[in-house]
Structure 1
C-alpha cells in the first residue's frame, strides 16, 4: 500500500513538473517572440536613422552651395553698385564742368 501511495505521489509530482515545464516553454516562446519583435523594431529604427542622416548630409551640402552662391551674388551686386556709383560720379563731374 505504501508503494502505491508513493508511486501516486511520484506520478502527481511528475505531472506537476510536466505542466510547469510546458508553462515555462510557453513563456520562453513568448519571450523569444517579443525579443524578435524588438529586434525588428530596432532594425526599422536604425534604418530610419540612416535615412535621416543621409538627408541631413544632403541638406548640409545644399545649404553650403546656397551660401556660396549668395556670397557670389552679393559680391556681384556690390561690384555693380560701385560701378554705378562711379558712373554717377563721372556724370556729376562732367555735368558740373559743363556749367
Structure 2
C-alpha cells in the first residue's frame, strides 16, 4: 500500500527533517500551495463539466427538433402518397372510360360504313 500512496502523493514521499520542513520550505506552506493547485484544478474541472452539460442540452434540444421535423415530414409524405394513389386511380378510370368511348365510336363508324357500302 505505501508505494501506491507514495506514487500518487509524491510530495509526501520526500524525507522530512525533524523540524517539519522540506528543502527549507515549511510543510504547512507546501500543503497550502498544493491545496491551492488542487482547488484551481477542481474549479477548472467543474467549469468544463458545466460547459459540457450546456453543450449536451443544446445537442438534445437540436435532436428533439430534428425528430419532430422527421415526424412531420413522414406524415406529409404519407398524405402525398395517398393523394398520388387516388390521382392514379382517377387517371386510370378516365383512361378506361375514354378507351370505351373510342371503342364504341369505332364500332359505330364500322357499322355506318358497312351499311353505306350496301
Normalising by structure 2, we get a TM-score of 0.76
Which segments of 5 or more consecutive residues in structure 2 lack a partner in the other structure? 1-17, 114-118
Alignment: residue pair count:
94
Aligned counterparts of 1:90 and 1:59: Cα–Cα separation in 2: 46
- The gaps in structure 1 that reach 5 residues or longer are none
Partner Cα distance (1:53, 1:17) in 2? 53
Specify the structure having the higher radius of gyration (Cα). Answer: 2
Give the match for residue 46 of structure 1. Answer: 60
- Regions of 4+ moved over 2 Å: none
CA distance in 1 between counterparts of 2:52 and 2:58 reads 10
Instruction: Name the CA distance, whole Å, in 1 between partners of 2:102 and 2:40.
Output: 91
Instruction: State the TM-score, normalized to the length of structure 1.
Output: 0.91
Q: Distance in 1 between matches of 2:110 and 2:60?
A: 74
**Greater per-residue helix proportion:** 1
What is the CA RMSD across the aligned residues, in angstroms? 1.5
- Greater shift, 10-19 or 60-69, is seen at 10-19
Which has the bigger relative contact order, CA under 8 A and spacing at least 6?
Answer: 2
